[in-house]
Structure 1
């Protein structure tokens, strides 16, 4: 039996990379999925690539009006949410102390932290008892990565939210967990020089970058009954980079 048979899942930031890979896997495992993205063309392409049991909602996770519209769309189409993967996020590792701008700070905190808070809050009234909430973290939250201070702090805040929300929502049986990717072979790495890519890969104990599909598999585990006794946890998927 499919792991998410009959479930309604919402995945934000799912027009490419980890979010899109997760959406495809969730649909393959029986879920009806709503995905979001800021760009209409890319959103339509993502919906077409998934093929069935998917709805695209143009939304920016940093925009509260968009989140309200997302919640209303979910209410109209399905009336509930069984799985929420707050995947939308921004990353930057080129902002060392001394060069951080207010615009960079506001963008990273606005989407990664504020956006996560209000994505969950707007959809919470639609969450089924026993539902699963998955937040998108990063291994950078526990490592000192030069140039990534604001990004890492915004994701460390997400880790803290999971603990607090797991305690607050336990009365409804709603599980809240984090999946924390390490270096994943997404479009971002196509802009990285071969030398930097080699350095990053060499620092990973398993000797390679991760794939978006591996993050999707981790999210599927946390979404499914396989993780029914797991809440408040941080599932690290980084080839051992932050663990060894």
Structure 2
């Protein structure tokens, strides 16, 4: 039996990477899935491949968030699953060289956008719903040239735990999934060539205790588990998926 049959799920940034894999897994488990993204061509293609519905929406835009919430409420009534996945790494730079433009881009999507996506969808969430926030192991790491991204994910973890406390009375669970190195398109999108990307992955494999890079599917399975009734007593928790890198 498919464990999520009868559930309606929304996945932000669902046209690629972890969002795509999570949406695919939720569909496989029987859920009705809606994915969002900024690029209509990529979004419609992904939705057709997965068997999902889609809405074009930029998580950094309050107007888009409000429009999305209204559309989902009108068409579906309520949500049982909300996976706040959309995010960017931004440009790597030292704090001394930071630009306001880069700061705003990272924070508007990763923190402000995620915050208000959750905030605006609270009234649309069914009692007993599951919310999953995609964070990263970098939230508890302090590497040079990644201050904005690290800070955005640390802030996300904070609001997720507060939301878990606030929504507990409605049996709405809010949990965090924090991947480590994961094979997605993110490195390619930064402009690195394929040879450089593979060199990075080879280095990471050499220092990860399990000697392998995570996949989007690994993360997707955890997301789906947290949306299942089997995880009904789990809230305010963070699940690290990094092959032991942060041990």
Q: What TM-score do the two structures reach when normalised by structure 1?
A: 0.96
Does 2:98 match 1:94?
no
- Report the Cα offset of residue 196 of structure 1: 2.5
2:56 to 55, 58, 68: 58
* Counterpart in the other structure of 1:35: 35
1:118 to 116, 119, 133: 116
2:160 to 159, 162, 169: 162
Alignment of 1:190-229 (within 5 A): 190=188, 191=192, 193=196, 194-229=198-233
Aligned partners of 2:187, 2:43: CA distance in 1, in Å?
21
User: 8 Å contact 1:184–1:210 — kept in the other structure?
Assistant: yes
Aligned partners of 1:232, 1:13: CA distance in 2, in Å?
22
User: 8 Å contact 2:78–2:125 — kept in the other structure?
Assistant: yes
Aligned partners of 2:176, 2:186: CA distance in 1, in Å?
22
Aligned partners of 1:233, 1:93: CA distance in 2, in Å?
29
* Counterpart in the other structure of 2:49: 49
Aligned partners of 1:226, 1:167: CA distance in 2, in Å?
20
User: What stretches of structure 1 of length at least 5 have no aligned partner?
Assistant: none
- Report the Cα offset of residue 93 of structure 1: 6.2
Aligned partners of 1:92, 1:210: CA distance in 2, in Å?
21
User: 8 Å contact 1:93–1:145 — kept in the other structure?
Assistant: no
Q: What TM-score do the two structures reach when normalised by structure 2?
A: 0.94
Count of aligned residue pairs for this structure pair: 241
- Report the Cα offset of residue 146 of structure 1: 2.0
* Counterpart in the other structure of 2:177: 179
SS in 2 for 1:98: helix
User: What stretches of structure 2 of length at least 5 have no aligned partner?
Assistant: none
